[in-house]
Structure 1
């Protein structure tokens, strides 16, 4: 579902870090990592994160720059990684690949004509989570003793399941689909400047006068990662239509419209593949080993990560948390 669509409907409020201190947060790792990966590539010289044999590990800079804010505010990040891509999302993945390839062609053309600014801008759009990025990210997180969960399918669905079953306190994601997967509360902008936002499922449903299945039906009418929306139906129109006609099928019949695989998509949101997990929230980051891994083993410029590691060290001393063993 388009971010703007769901934001128009969701109950969202700003919260202070004091309000959420002590929380355990299931973070949509791919969402979070990709954000820091692309930001690093956009604003950092490639030589800072490229090995002698040409392997790019900008992700290591991104992780070290992004993690400290969790620690500084007494938050435990549980990084949840995507599992298998569902068949329903295959078209979306293919579309993203096509857009990335198009950006790569435009980037190459910009390099050829000497437009360094345009090339740098497009370089961020060509990034993908390579096997090396996946492996090195996990290893760095392990050295920093950050809990990792491998989802059976959609990472965001696993996050939502963990929050709904009480394994964690909140989901952490910049996307809005956590609502559709049933996350009671989702924290956005956790590692951005300023305070985070809290998206509340119960308050959203109460304000809209819908149950979660009704919200999923609204989302499908507008369009999700798994389906195109119905032409001419925006979020407010969708809410009114679902209330008037009872559910997704009633709306589709009334409009003479069709959503391919609608039953499967609806079921995926309502009962996504997810597993029960126990999370160990006691952390003992080995900052020295993590720094050696990033700087010595992978050749990342020390000045790009030194402050991040120092902030993690300072957090261990200043917060005095029981979980810092």
Structure 2
């Protein structure tokens, strides 16, 4: 879910045309959750093949990626790696919420309450090993590269942009700012209209709110992140005001918080010095039509006509020459 910065960060409105020819590092987990939550049947059930395997994520990757490529954008998916020990509580909390939502979904479905069932079904979405591995397999057959992060995908994406291997990170999470991503794209869904696309530039964001990146991280720690609960009663606006006049350590003293579960410096390191995968290669290939059809049509029951149509759209990636603008 990430840190809640909507009240203090203003995004620019851009057009898909602005991304033409650029490589974009897509937050895979963030995107997969979108597919699992949004691509469902009327009663909230996920799309499934004849064998009962969930295919909502495969449908999302197949068609959205094809649309992105068709717009002249080069997508690279970035998958999360190991979960930080500091994220354990967040993971457990989310798991409990999903289990509760799943129970309410089953109850609503049994009662014939379709609207309630769908609402709770969306909240019960989870990433299983099958979903992650089948997503990677589909991308491989499509000729779309993906990068496996050591830890947080947002941190890996930020590194890739700073390293010149991508122009921006595409994610809904403001955490990308904390990890130092120079440029971030939000709402790269191609379903909400061109005016829905948002652009954040780290330097501009820091200038507008008159903070350093280190101070922004401290605001996040007060508000609460996936790695810590934050300080009760402090939202983004309040945190912004406080950090301009005090250090985080001073604020903790002022609030009477002397016993913290994790030292601020340890939490800062997560965002400022995150361990990333530096040994990756980004190479766009031609789609393997035979394997793509075998995987999507024979194994999962997708329309061969539609799958081949996607393969045709992917031909735009036949040129692996990077856009000169990707280097700036």
> Is the pair's TM-score, using the shorter chain for normalization, greater than 0.5?
yes
C-alpha change, 1:138 and 1:321, in structure 2 (3 Å) is closer
What secondary structure is seen at the aligned counterpart in 2 of 1:8?
coil
CA shift, 1:47, in A, is 8.6
1:282 aligns to what? 284
Match of 1:108 among 106, 109, 123: 106
1:313 aligns to what? 312
The answer to whether structure 1 residue 323 and structure 2 residue 324 are counterparts is no
The answer to whether structure 1 residue 210 and structure 2 residue 211 are counterparts is yes
1:20 aligns to what? 19
Contact 2:185-2:198 at 8 Å conserved across structures:
yes
Following superposition of structure 1 onto structure 2, how do residues 85-234 of structure 1 map, counting pairs within 5 Å? 85-192=83-190, 193-195=192-194, 196-234=197-235
What secondary structure is seen at the aligned counterpart in 2 of 1:7?
coil
Contact 2:44-2:117 at 8 Å conserved across structures:
no
2:274 aligns to what? 272
The answer to whether structure 1 residue 256 and structure 2 residue 253 are counterparts is no
**What is the TM-score when the length of structure 1 is the normalising length?**
0.89
C-alpha change, 1:146 and 1:314, in structure 2 (3 Å) is closer
CA shift, 1:223, in A, is 1.1
User: Quick check: 118-127 or 104-113, which moved more?
Assistant: 118-127
Structure 2 CA distance, aligned partners of 1:171 and 1:208?
21
- RMSD of Structure 2 on Structure 1 (CA): 2.3
User: Quick check: 92-101 or 102-111, which moved more?
Assistant: 102-111
Structure 1 CA distance, aligned partners of 2:237 and 2:141?
47
Contact 1:11-1:201 at 8 Å conserved across structures:
no
C-alpha change, 1:17 and 1:148, in structure 2 (3 Å) is same
1:8 aligns to what? 7
Count of matched residue pairs: 316
Contact 2:158-2:169 at 8 Å conserved across structures:
yes
C-alpha change, 1:47 and 1:93, in structure 2 (3 Å) is closer
C-alpha change, 1:43 and 1:279, in structure 2 (3 Å) is farther
CA shift, 1:309, in A, is 4.9
Give 5+ residue unaligned stretches, structure 2: 322-328
Q: 1:137-196 CA deviation, whole Å, 9 max, x = no partner?
A: 111100001111111111111111111222211111011110001000001111232232
User: Quick check: 276-285 or 76-85, which moved more?
Assistant: 276-285
